[in-house]
Chains A and B, each alone.
Chain A
Amino acid sequence: MSTLLPGTPGQTVGPFFRYGLEFEGGTELVPPHSPGAIRLSGTVYDGAGDPIPDALVEIWQADGTGAIPTATGSFRDRDGFTGFGRAHVSDDGVYEFWTVLPDADFISVIVFARGLMDRLQSRIYLPGRSDAFLESLTPEERATLVAVATDDGLRHDLRLQGNGETVFLAFP
């Protein structure tokens, strides 16, 4: 696709983003423990294998029927399932969402952090689901994109660098 205008460059989210980007219920796309709700959680790691305490994780996903949400109200007065969540990781680098399993191969995910110059885009594939892109990867790469089933949902770590570095995406 040809573009006429050059894009605006990204910049790091910096250290002091919490008060600018926090909203109540940002991690609860559905009420915790409600019927059909799953917990999606994981840890964001740096290249030394240490958790990153000042990262921001956003997810965007289809609903349980595979439909793309069009409801507004993620920030307040939620009117149905909006499909968008934002988590400020804990001091231990842990993010946690309450959501539903989409009828789709993956949940879209974006990571921001202090020290990270630009956002990173990736996918969280559901266990047992796949597509041509996932199959084109080596087993080691694939393992970084597929979530692990847990008692109450999914676990998916994000490694920005080093052993088991998460596969990040670029789009044409």
Chain B
Amino acid sequence: MTELNQAAISAEIAELHAAYDRKRAAGMPPLDSPQIDFPPYRSSVLRHPTKNPKLVDPETIELASPAFGHRDVAAVESDLTMQHAGEPLGERMTVSGRVLDGEGRPVRGQLVEIWQANASGRYIHQRDQHPAPLDPNFTGAGRCITGDDGTYSFTTIKPGAYPWKNHLNAWRPAHIHFSLFGSAFTQRLVTQMYFPGDPLFPLDPIYQSIPDQAARDRLIANYEHDLSKPEWSLGYRWDIVLTGPRATWIEPEGSDA
């Protein structure tokens, strides 16, 4: 048996995207989220519900959100380059932006958590055994609490791309994992931020699990020169919008799309 290669995965991705485009042409509104049934990401096959989610009006508890504050997070936790005796290797950078709701209102005083690989593309997680060096000066986890205007900011280093075992020669584009709380528990979001111009985008079944190009683009930070600091660090801006889940579109009867 030949090992599953990138060409086969890319063909599967193209087929699923074409099916999405046909539904869009038939009147389906654009999808803001990934397709949870997306076999090119092999680990998803047995881990997604096969039934549509039930549409329900959120109740009181779901319209509120857990509260976090400066009691939970020390200011230094937003600087991932300061957690050890020495400086981590890699391209130092600031990642900053605003957390907003769908109405454009800032999400104030809420928790943002990030985790990432080091500059070599290695996670400190014990199950990441890929043969790239660990950095004794980099753990790769940070937290902060958003400001009154919804702003978050982290100082870190740019993570490297890394290989994974989805298929032969599979590589993830460089990314930072983000975990976010909104003003309602229905807005809870875990996602990944990417960097502009990454040549691995078209090949990655996780990034491509979002079938809508405009939605995919929303996961890519912008390089912003005004955020860069002379002789110190590069600046990336990435705003996050927490709208909460949407209803699933049901194909109209009689449509063969």
Binding site for B on A (CB under 8 A): 1, 3-21, 46-48, 50, 52, 58, 60-62, 68-77, 79, 82-84, 102, 104-106, 108, 110, 112-121, 131, 133, 137, 141, 160-162, 165-172
Contact = CB atoms under 8 A, between A and B. Distances in A.
Contacts of B103: 3-5
10 A-B pairs closest in CB distance: A20-B115, A115-B43, A3-B102, A7-B243, A84-B66, A72-B69, A16-B125, A75-B72, A47-B46, A170-B53
A71 B127 CA distance: 35
Contacts of A48: 46
Contacts of B36: 116-118
A7 B241 contact: yes
Contact of A72 (B72, B139, B247, B248): B72
B33 to A, nearest CB: 5
A132 to B, nearest CB: 9
Contacts of B225: none
A116 B66 contact: no
B242 A8 contact: yes
Nearest to B125: A16
Contacts of B240: 8
Contact of A8 (B53, B218, B246): B218
Contact of A11 (B45, B128, B206): B206
Given A13-B190, A62-B61, A171 B241 contact: no
17 contacts: A1-B102, A3-B243, A4-B102, A9-B218, A52-B47, A74-B66, A74-B72, A75-B73, A108-B185, A112-B190, A113-B47, A115-B41, A116-B47, A117-B34, A133-B54, A168-B53, A171-B58
B216 A9 contact: yes
A16 B115 contact: yes
Contact of B41 (A18, A104, A117, A170): A117
B113 interface: yes
- Identify the interface centre among B49, B214, B219: most chain A CB within 10 Å of its CB: B49
A39 B173 CA distance: 41
Best-buried of A12, A76, A161 by chain B (most CB within 10 Å): A12
A68 B179 CA distance: 22
Interface of B: 30, 32-36, 38, 41, 43-62, 64-69, 71-73, 100-104, 113-115, 123-125, 127-128, 139-141, 177, 179, 185-186, 188-192, 206-207, 209-210, 214-216, 218-219, 240-248
Contacts of B102: 1, 3-5, 7
A8 B177 contact: no
A9 B50 contact: no
Contacts of B125: 15-16, 18-19
B212 to A, nearest CB: 8
A171 B218 contact: no
A85 to B, nearest CB: 9
Given A68-B64, A82-B67, A170 B179 contact: no
Given A75-B73, A117-B38, A137-B54, A60 B244 contact: no
B145 to A, nearest CB: 9
Contacts of A11: 34, 177, 190-192, 206-207, 209-210, 219
Nearest to A83: B66
A162 B121 CA distance: 35
A171 B57 contact: yes
A165 B49 contact: yes
A168 B49 contact: yes
Contacts of B71: 72-73, 75-77, 79
